[in-house]
Structure 1
Amino acid sequence: MNDVLATDEDGLIRLQKLLAQSGVASRRKCEELMLAGEVEVDGEVVTRLGTKVDPRVAVIRVSGQRLPPISDHVYLVLNKPRGVVSTMSDPEGRRTLTDVLQEVRPSADSSERLFHVGRLDTDTSGLLLLTNDGDFAHKMAHPSYEVDKTYVAEVDGEVTKHTSETLLGGVELDDGPVAVTRVRIIAATRQKSIVELVIHEGRNRIVRRLLAQVGHPVRKLTRTELGPVDLGQLKSGQLRDLTLDELGALLDSVRM
């Protein structure tokens, strides 16, 4: 978050003021939440009004929900259009994420130096995070944190219950086994099917290779969710900020 807060000379701010300025509730309501034991700082319940915290590093929860620290970092959700390469520049002159950003944020500060969190294939559309927070991007992309990724795929042929069970049980690929954590058949005919898959793997073209391996080459692929973040009504090429709840949940998922 990039809000500017009035802190004291030690960089501290009263907790109820921080909560109010972060959009949790009015100052009075935030005080009521503190008195009711609904606010934690670094794992400890804080009920004393006037308690000061460092908004840059304090881990704050309100009714169990993480409140992200105040920083100059930017966290964005992009619905990447199909045909856009997941890079900020391209020597071959293909349409890049920078091109999309310039279309939707023409007046943005060029010094932000945004970069993508992970990547999507050029011919895959959907949810992609953009940020200038290097630590966050690195942890989100690290396989040890296993953040769930949800895809909707249109494939050749009829996906059956047996195929779903195979996907859940695990499939051997050239670079090792892979299994989905959830699969849902949205529609199925002899000619084509639409399926939703949840997977935490991040290997190159993993969903396409997985579905091809079980006999259903992908016609069209969209990532619809990443952990607690979903596309919702965000149209292709559109951009929005992560909400406080989304960012807080993602920070928790990568233990930041």
Structure 2
Amino acid sequence: MTPPARRDGTPEKKKRDSDMLLSNAKPARHQHVKQNKRSAGSATADSVARDLGADWLVEDKGASAKGERLQKVLAKAGVASRRHAEILIDAGRVEVNGQIVVKQGVRVDPNKDVIRVDGVRINVNENHQYFILNKPRGMQSTMDDEMGRPCVGDVVADKVAAGQRLFHVGRLDADTEGLLLLTNDGELANRLMHPKYEIKKTYLATVLGEANKKLVRELKEGIELEDGPAKADFVQIIDKNQGFSLVRIELHEGRKHIVRRMLKEAGYPVQRLVRTKLHTVQLGDMKPGGMRALNSNELTSLYKEVGM
């Protein structure tokens, strides 16, 4: 199974300020950019920046300079205070567009420039939002329902009214409960749904019948469906009681009703289905209808998995 993302942080060690650990940084959308090499010789940082076309490396020359100061952007992103951000810059731990920055006063564009601290991409775009919704049974995975049925849009109506354009990543059918990712980050959403990245989803299925090792074997080896074979990456029988079984299934398939169809074909019709995990992001003890923001570790894990 895919190990869960850490949510408790790492204890900070007693070191000099320049070695401080980053605990609140939010990862950004793109983790890969083309690296530019510095010119050899004794050229100044400004001349090297101009040679490379990196205008952001030129220090602040006055009020007319574009963008925001790098240390301010890092502080707003939750990396560190402005003072500690300056220490990180002095220590050569901050990169902008692939170039290490060691000068104070550099200005950047948070919506365009790629900023890393200790090699980790930092999300400095405050417009991006990431939430997990525990979708209740009976709720439609739509932002609006023309028949007036309860839908995801009802839960985020206040955020939409405040100008946040959120949409759901993938769907859960009305009878399926559990984890549904909401965001306005189109690139991340597209990659998470793209078959090539094989993002794993974990479900807990309550089925009719007392499951056995044969079911586990069949699901892992593959079940022949009308639109082609389908198989699970991991299967575990959690419990059996009074003619019902609780089965955990992990798979990267994204076809419609895939879990229900696999179990029905194997002879175990689904009575209740809950998605509990998307890659390393877990539903945990969230109540139905509850919503929370992703933490930095969860977001980092998702971006890394899809190569951003």
The two structures have a TM-score, normalised by structure 1, of 0.82
Give the one of 132, 135, 140 matched to 1:85: 140
Deviation of 1:43 after TM superposition, in Å, equals 6.2
Deviation of 1:37 after TM superposition, in Å, equals 6.8
Deviation of 1:59 after TM superposition, in Å, equals 4.4
Structure 1 residues 100 and 61: CA distance shift in structure 2, 3 A: same
Contact 1:13/1:55 (<8 A) preserved: no
Q: Distance in 2 between matches of 1:109 and 1:180?
A: 40
Structure-1 residue corresponding to 2:174: 122
Contact 1:65/1:245 (<8 A) preserved: no
Structure-1 residue corresponding to 2:102: 48
Contact 2:204/2:248 (<8 A) preserved: yes
Contact 1:66/1:252 (<8 A) preserved: no
Contact 1:67/1:245 (<8 A) preserved: no
Structure 1 residues 172 and 221: CA distance shift in structure 2, 3 A: same
Query: 1:74 corresponds to which letter in structure 2?
Result: Q
SS at match of 2:261: helix
Deviation of 1:151 after TM superposition, in Å, equals 0.9
Structure 1 residues 13 and 64: CA distance shift in structure 2, 3 A: same
Query: 1:111 corresponds to which letter in structure 2?
Result: G
SS at match of 1:73: coil
Deviation of 1:119 after TM superposition, in Å, equals 0.4
Structure 1 residues 114 and 158: CA distance shift in structure 2, 3 A: same
SS at match of 2:285: coil
Query: 2:146 corresponds to which letter in structure 1?
Result: P
Q: Distance in 1 between matches of 2:246 and 2:92?
A: 47
Structure-1 residue corresponding to 2:297: 245
Structure-1 residue corresponding to 2:50: none
Q: Distance in 2 between matches of 1:8 and 1:173?
A: 64
Deviations 1:45-92 (A, max 9, x none): x47353655433444455565433414122221111110011111222
Deviations 1:123-179 (A, max 9, x none): 001111112233332222221121111111111112222321221222211111111
Structure-2 residue corresponding to 1:13: 69
Greater Cα shift, 112-121 or 93-102: 93-102
- Match runs of 1:40-79 below 5 Å: 46=100, 48=102, 50=104, 53-62=108-117, 65-79=120-134
Structure-1 residue corresponding to 2:247: 195
Is 2:154 the counterpart of 1:99?
A: yes
Q: Distance in 2 between matches of 1:163 and 1:43?
A: 50
Higher strand share: 1
Structure 1 residues 247 and 24: CA distance shift in structure 2, 3 A: same
Alignment size in residue pairs: 246
Q: Distance in 2 between matches of 1:96 and 1:194?
A: 27
Deviation of 1:93 after TM superposition, in Å, equals 2.0
Structure-2 residue corresponding to 1:4: none
Is 2:265 the counterpart of 1:210?
A: no
Q: Distance in 2 between matches of 1:99 and 1:202?
A: 25
- Which sections of structure 2, spanning at least 5 residues, go unmatched? 1-25, 27-62
Deviations 1:12-47 (A, max 9, x none): 532x54333322344455556667776565667x47
Q: Distance in 1 between matches of 2:91 and 2:246?
A: 48
Contact 2:74/2:124 (<8 A) preserved: no
Structure-2 residue corresponding to 1:225: 277
Structure 1 residues 69 and 166: CA distance shift in structure 2, 3 A: farther
